[in-house]
């Protein structure tokens, strides 16, 4: 992963808006032209890539691991047939409204729940935002400790790590 891919989106935009000083770059003067230096081209491509809306595609981690009122966590939805929602057009409101942190663009494309084995669920509460970090594959949180570390550095009041073996560890922001 390149340095540019590791930067948060806000920092990418800040760096994109900084002049680089190269004579052919668009940011060298008040005059706006269509030429960009390689660094600004790279930053612009990464910003555009991240701002594109993400789609679930073949990821169904929430359909299996997210606890809902009528089914416990880590229990596949009965409507999930052949890797697809059998009632997608008429799915329940809770399913329509749910958007994991990856789908909302909070993380890199490689941290999609079905690829990294971890589903991050942001929950807005009175006191701020709580993140539920739900392990989808056994050992995924142990293999990817940076996921919890990264979640702790986000602007949230509580991070709850829910392991497949039933352990729940809470990290409160001081």
Tens digits of per-residue pLDDT, 126-135?
767 788 889 9
Given a cut of 60, whether residue 32 has pLDDT beyond it is no
Dump pLDDT digits (tens) for 85-118. Answer: 889 889 888 888 888 888 887 766 667 899 889 9
* pLDDT at site 136: 92
150 three-class SS: helix
Share of residues in the chain with pLDDT > 90 (%): 10
Q: CA of 135: how far to CAs of 12, 76, 108, 144, in Å? A: 29, 14, 18, 10
Q: Give the total number of structural domains in the chain.
A: 2
pLDDT of 33 strictly over 60: no
Return the number of other C-beta atoms located less than 10 Å from residue 65's C-beta.
22
Average of per-residue pLDDT values in the chain:
79
pLDDT surpassing 80 at residue 65: yes
pLDDT in tens, 134-149: 999 999 888 877 777 7
Instruction: Determine, yes or no, domain membership for 56.
Output: no
In the predicted structure, residue 34 carries a pLDDT above the cut 80: no
pTM of the model: 0.64
- Does residue 69 sit in the same domain as residue 101? yes
Say if residue 155's pLDDT is above 80.
Answer: no
Q: Coil, helix or strand for 50? A: helix
Assess whether pLDDT exceeds 80 at residue 125. Answer: no
Q: Indicate if 113 and 168 belong to the same structural domain.
A: yes
Domain span including residue 34: 3-51
Under 8 Å between Cβ of 159 and 147: no
Q: 36 and 78 share a domain?
A: no
Alpha-carbon distance of 2 to 103, in angstroms, equals 22
**Residues 47 and 65 occupy one common structural domain:** no
The residue with greater pLDDT, 33 or 159, is: 159
* 103 and 151 belong to one structural domain: yes
94 domain residue, yes or no: yes
- Check whether 150 has a pLDDT greater than 80: no
């Amino acid at each position: 992963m390149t340095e540019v891919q590791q930067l948060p989106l806000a920092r990418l935009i800040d760096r994109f808006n900084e002049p680089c000083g190269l004579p052919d770059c668009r940011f060298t003067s008040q005059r706006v032209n269509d030429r960009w230096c390689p660094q600004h081209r790279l930053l612009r491509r990464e910003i555009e890539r991240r701002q594109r809306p993400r789609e679930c595609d073949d990821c169904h981690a929430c359909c299996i691991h997210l606890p809902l009122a009528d089914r416990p966590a880590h229990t596949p939805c009965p409507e999930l047939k052949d890797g697809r929602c059998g009632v997608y057009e008429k799915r329940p409101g809770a399913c329509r409204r749910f958007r994991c942190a990856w789908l909302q663009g909070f993380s890199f494309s490689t941290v999609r729940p079905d690829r990294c084995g971890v589903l991050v669920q942001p929950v807005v509460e009175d006191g701020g935002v709580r993140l539920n970090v739900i392990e989808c594959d056994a050992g995924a949180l142990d293999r990817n400790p940076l996921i919890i570390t990264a979640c702790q550095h986000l602007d949230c009041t509580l991070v709850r790590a829910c392991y497949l073996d039933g352990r729940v560890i809470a990290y409160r922001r001081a």
